[in-house]
A and B are shown apart, each in its own frame.
Chain A
Amino acid sequence: MADLFDGYPLGRQWDEMFAAPGRPRTPYTGLFSSLQPMSGEELAARADVLSQTYRDAGVTFAHAGEEQPFPLDIVPRVIGHQEWSVIERGVAQRVWALEAFLADVYGAGEVFTDRIVPRSVVTTSAHFHRAAHGLVPPNGVRVHVSGIDLVRDEAGDFRVLEDNLRSPSGVSYVITNRAAMTSVLPELFGDHRVQPVAEYPGRLLAALKASAPAGVSDPTVVLLTPGVYNSAYFEHALLARQMGVELVEGRDLVCSGGQVSMRTTDGQQRVDVIYRRIDDEFLDPVHFRSDSVIGCAGVLNAARAGRVTIANAVGNGVADDKLLYTWVPDLIRYYLGEEPVLANAETHRLDEPDTVEWVLSSLDQLVLKPVDGSGGKGIVIGPRADERTLEELAVKVRSSPRDWIAQAPIGLSTSPTLINGRIAPRHVDLRPFAVNDGTDVWVLPGGLTRVALPEGELVVNSSQGGGSKDTWVLSAPRPAVEPVPEQDVTRIEFTTEDLPVEPPAQDPGPPNDNALAQSQQQQQGAEMAISAVHRDGDGPSPRAGMAISAPGEVPPC
């Protein structure tokens, strides 16, 4: 029997599945025993079905302007429930701290007067918008949706790599990955209790509705997309469809008298909450880039007037700046009085001349990241870069140290991935998504596991042509709380006692001609002695239902 995992190399990094060769970690035991008997060919055949499913459903990511199917790897990633509860707490804690920080930055600014963070960090950030100063959202939430990127280091601990508080994308793939895996590989799920992910759109909609301007009883939510050419358009459409809200483009919105409306066949309809997936710079030509044609002029003033809520709030970028990232543990202590549950990766700020010198002298051993880059652009991994890159980098760093941070390279954990019909280790990260409705930060069980498909590649990013994995969070053996019941005013519940009798059977349809008629049709007039025959016998049982006396008339021919 082919052993799928034969010769699976284990390196220095933490491997998600194996503690030692042939010995899977506890959460993976079930998965390992399901996959073990399969051959590489069989798994590859399944993987083809999986990618066909994705092509048919149009699950794509626009990469460099081209629509490409989003590669989904067939081996899921499993997280035990105890591990998950740590992540859950750590992510929620971070969101609360960053919410408090944003409220402070665009409000009183105590964090600066208390010398926790230098004011210059914020004022020099490209994402700090004076236009958002003093703008308090209706329920105080600025980070309605966030994606906190985590990686696992050599010791097996999760560390935060960055925070995404503007428009974190990828949650649609979490939903579609699960749907595709359950339809193509149902048997893998057989013995597991995997927490479902389908409730995300409902949670998001509830959070968006909760953030509507005060006094609006039944708020209208819209999702604002840049348009079909945006790389995450698939996600915008999926979320809008599953929330049942309009997917609008900038040209569909009109703002007058401090009120945003959308143009419908029925005239203009008021909009209360805009879940926007457009960057600040393009959102409102009045305040930001005046050449933007995908935004809605005046929307920020309407938000300031308290007539519309923008989610996520304008100016969140100051809190997911990679330079500010280095202060987040301090922010957690300052605002919440707690110790961080999830540690940062070891990071150096280039704010001291000594540090800058030290970094410049050891560029070949560090990872340098531009502070406002996203999607893995501009990252230089020292140990793998050639001389010229490092020289160019040194020039850039020397001229503007504020634009860079330096990190010690983390040996990202690996996870078994199907590559050309064989299982091989590939680096993965994890992006859990959190939804804040003002009273509670809900973390979607699982999140997006991204996998770098080229061998040894360390930049795990869908913008860089990475793939993803279905991420399973195992439930506790006995759920302490039942899954959230539906938000119901009235519940319709009956028992079988309410039924008058047995449920009726389905109508079988007219019986087929019996065997005799069939044989006669085949005989075609061959002589046969016919005796009296009644039709019945070997057809199905007579039809269910009431016999109704036929109206005693002969239908006209």
Chain B
Amino acid sequence: MLSRIAESLFWIGRYVERADDTARILDVHTQRLVEDPWIDEQRACANLLALMGAPCPPEEADTERVLATLAFDRASPSSITGALSAARENARGAREVLSAEIWESLNVTHNALPQQRTMARRYGPHSLFRFVRERSAMVFGLADATMSRDESWLFLVLGRSLERVDMTSRMLSTRVLAGDAAPSWTLVLRSTGAYEPYLRTYRGAVNSSRAAEFLLLDRLFPRSVFASLERAEGCLAELERANVREGHRIGVAGEAHRIVGRARTMLEFMQTDEILARLPARLDELQRTCSAASEAVTNRFFTEQAPQVWVPEGVG
């Protein structure tokens, strides 16, 4: 398929997942500000902004700022509205491979954003978060139901999985690094949608190393870092199978596959204590792994050649 289209699909996967995860994180964050009587709002907001890669001076951090930056900033692909608009723009350029239903659901989402913003301003942001969660579930659900499992599907899922690794490790970082302004593990689990699965798995009080282990290493929970890496790896293996040529008898064909595979094996074959002992560095590493893998996928499959330009020869 066309590189340009493949790239669009990859980024639709990333952007929609990003909007979904950001909505979950913000929802829990705003609920927590309201429910927890002992919270230091400024610090909590500053931490959240820093870990989402949009740091601001601590004295300026408040919920207003968090929402403006991570929910409503149309120009930034890291905010919910920005990510959803970008996903829709990408879909607009790839309409011939997307089913009409997927395009429509992305488009409806994008068109409803202004109204959702107004609603959020009037009745609190919860309704917006809910809307985003539902819409992204719908996009991926339609993709699941209507897309052939060809390359286009693989790129979409690859994008989604890499984004998930990134977001889940960011969420873990908020807990690990924020000291006494940190959300409780219960909240971290809730914001990754893992709370009820965790309770059903471990039946009992939330304990920190178990919760961290669950979000990092659980094989069966689809949002855990490990499960997402495995999914991404599967996609890459499929994509390369079509491209594997004679002579590739050592390792794997692609750089991206190697990067993702290394991260996955590190999690799989290292003891939990060992991982937890240097958790911040590991999480940071995971986020960089995602960037590197994304970069490698871009270079391998979507390489941007500089556009050919005719330069008229000078007379002299």
- In the complex, the chain A residue whose C-beta lies closest to that of B273 is A490
A-contact 0/1 string along B175-215, CB 8 Å cutoff:
01101000011100000000010111111111111001000
Task: Pick from B36, B77, B295: contact of A546, CB below 8 A.
Answer: B295
The interface-forming segment of A145-153, A228-236, A315-323, A528-536 is A528-536
**Smallest distance from the beta carbon of A359 to chain B beta carbons, Å?**
48
The 4 closest A-B pairs by CB, nearest first: A545-B291, A244-B199, A193-B37, A183-B126
**Smallest distance from the beta carbon of B2 to chain A beta carbons, Å?**
10
Bound complex: CA A187 to CA B120 (Å):
12
A490 touches B124 (CB 8 A): no
B34 touches A186 (CB 8 A): yes
Contact of B11 with A by CB under 8 A: yes
Q: Which B residues lie within 8 Å of A220 (CB)?
A: 203
A533 touches B303 (CB 8 A): no
B36 touches A492 (CB 8 A): no
Bound complex: CA A496 to CA B315 (Å):
62
Contact of B7 with A by CB under 8 A: yes
- In the complex, the chain B residue whose C-beta lies closest to that of A494 is B280
Contact of A482 with B by CB under 8 A: yes
Task: Pick from A184, A496, A550: contact of B177, CB below 8 A.
Answer: A496
Bound complex: CA A533 to CA B309 (Å):
8
**Smallest distance from the beta carbon of A24 to chain B beta carbons, Å?**
20
A556 touches B123 (CB 8 A): no
Interface secondary structure of A, over-half rule: loop
A550 touches B176 (CB 8 A): no
| Known contacts A505-B53, A506-B166, A555-B301; is-contact A545 B207 (Cβ 8 Å) | no
Q: Which B residues lie within 8 Å of A49 (CB)?
A: 123, 127
Contact of A343 with B by CB under 8 A: no
B291 touches A504 (CB 8 A): yes
B-contact 0/1 string along A530-557, CB 8 Å cutoff:
1011110000100111111011000110
A198 touches B292 (CB 8 A): no
**What are 29 of the A-B contact pairs (CB < 8 Å)?**
A49-B123, A178-B35, A184-B123, A184-B124, A196-B35, A196-B36, A241-B196, A243-B199, A486-B184, A486-B185, A486-B207, A490-B207, A492-B276, A498-B281, A502-B55, A503-B284, A504-B291, A506-B77, A507-B14, A507-B294, A510-B298, A532-B309, A535-B306, A546-B292, A548-B299, A550-B299, A551-B255, A555-B300, A555-B303
B37 touches A499 (CB 8 A): no
Bound complex: CA A545 to CA B209 (Å):
29
B280 touches A498 (CB 8 A): yes
B-contact 0/1 string along A495-526, CB 8 Å cutoff:
11011111111111110100000000000000
**Smallest distance from the beta carbon of A247 to chain B beta carbons, Å?**
11
Q: Which A residues lie within 8 Å of B95 (CB)?
A: none
Q: Which B residues lie within 8 Å of A498 (CB)?
A: 177, 280-281
Task: Pick from A193, A202, A508: contact of B77, CB below 8 A.
Answer: A508
B284 touches A487 (CB 8 A): no
Q: Which A residues lie within 8 Å of B14 (CB)?
A: 507, 509
Bound complex: CA A61 to CA B201 (Å):
29
Count of chain A residues near B, Cβ 8 A:
73
Q: Which B residues lie within 8 Å of A532 (CB)?
A: 309, 311
B205 touches A486 (CB 8 A): yes
Task: Pick from B77, B186, B279: contact of A494, CB below 8 A.
Answer: B279
A186 touches B280 (CB 8 A): no
B292 touches A548 (CB 8 A): yes
Beyond the given pairs A196-B35, A486-B186, 19 more chain A to chain B contacts, judged by CB atoms under 8 angstroms and listed by A's residue number, are: A183-B126, A189-B34, A205-B204, A244-B202, A483-B38, A488-B208, A490-B208, A490-B209, A492-B209, A499-B177, A506-B53, A506-B78, A509-B15, A535-B304, A545-B288, A545-B292, A546-B295, A547-B295, A551-B255
Q: Which A residues lie within 8 Å of B306 (CB)?
A: 534-535
Contact of B143 with A by CB under 8 A: no
Contact of A142 with B by CB under 8 A: no
B124 touches A530 (CB 8 A): no
Bound complex: CA A494 to CA B33 (Å):
22
Q: Which B residues lie within 8 Å of A502 (CB)?
A: 55
Contact of B31 with A by CB under 8 A: yes
A548 touches B255 (CB 8 A): yes
Task: Pick from A479, A490, A501: contact of B38, CB below 8 A.
Answer: A479
Q: Which A residues lie within 8 Å of B212 (CB)?
A: 492
Residue of A179, A244, A540 ringed by the most chain B CB atoms within 10 A: A244
Residue of A195, A242, A487, A548 ringed by the most chain B CB atoms within 10 A: A548
Contact of B223 with A by CB under 8 A: no
Contact of B89 with A by CB under 8 A: yes
List chain B positions with a Cβ less than 8 A from chain A: 7, 11, 14-15, 18, 30-31, 33-38, 50-55, 77-78, 86, 89, 123-124, 126-127, 166, 170, 173, 176-177, 179, 184-186, 196, 198-209, 212, 243, 245, 254-255, 276, 279-281, 284, 287-288, 290-292, 294-296, 298-304, 306-307, 309-311
Query: Within A39-84, which residues are at the interface with B (CB < 8 Å)?
Result: 46, 49
Task: Pick from A187, A241, A499, A508: contact of B284, CB below 8 A.
Answer: A499
Task: Pick from B15, B37, B291: contact of A196, CB below 8 A.
Answer: B37
Q: Which B residues lie within 8 Å of A244 (CB)?
A: 196, 198-204
B123 touches A46 (CB 8 A): yes
B-contact 0/1 string along A306-341, CB 8 Å cutoff:
000000000000000000000000000000000000
Contact of A475 with B by CB under 8 A: yes
B124 touches A206 (CB 8 A): no
Bound complex: CA A486 to CA B183 (Å):
12
Q: Which A residues lie within 8 Å of B170 (CB)?
A: 503
B176 touches A494 (CB 8 A): yes
**Smallest distance from the beta carbon of B34 to chain A beta carbons, Å?**
4
Q: Which B residues lie within 8 Å of A179 (CB)?
A: 31
Bound complex: CA A167 to CA B130 (Å):
34
A493 touches B176 (CB 8 A): yes
Bound complex: CA A540 to CA B73 (Å):
14
- In the complex, the chain A residue whose C-beta lies closest to that of B166 is A506
**Smallest distance from the beta carbon of A146 to chain B beta carbons, Å?**
22
Bound complex: CA A489 to CA B306 (Å):
57
Bound complex: CA A492 to CA B254 (Å):
36
Q: Which B residues lie within 8 Å of A483 (CB)?
A: 36, 38
A509 touches B11 (CB 8 A): yes
Bound complex: CA A179 to CA B196 (Å):
16
B15 touches A183 (CB 8 A): no
Q: Which B residues lie within 8 Å of A540 (CB)?
A: 77
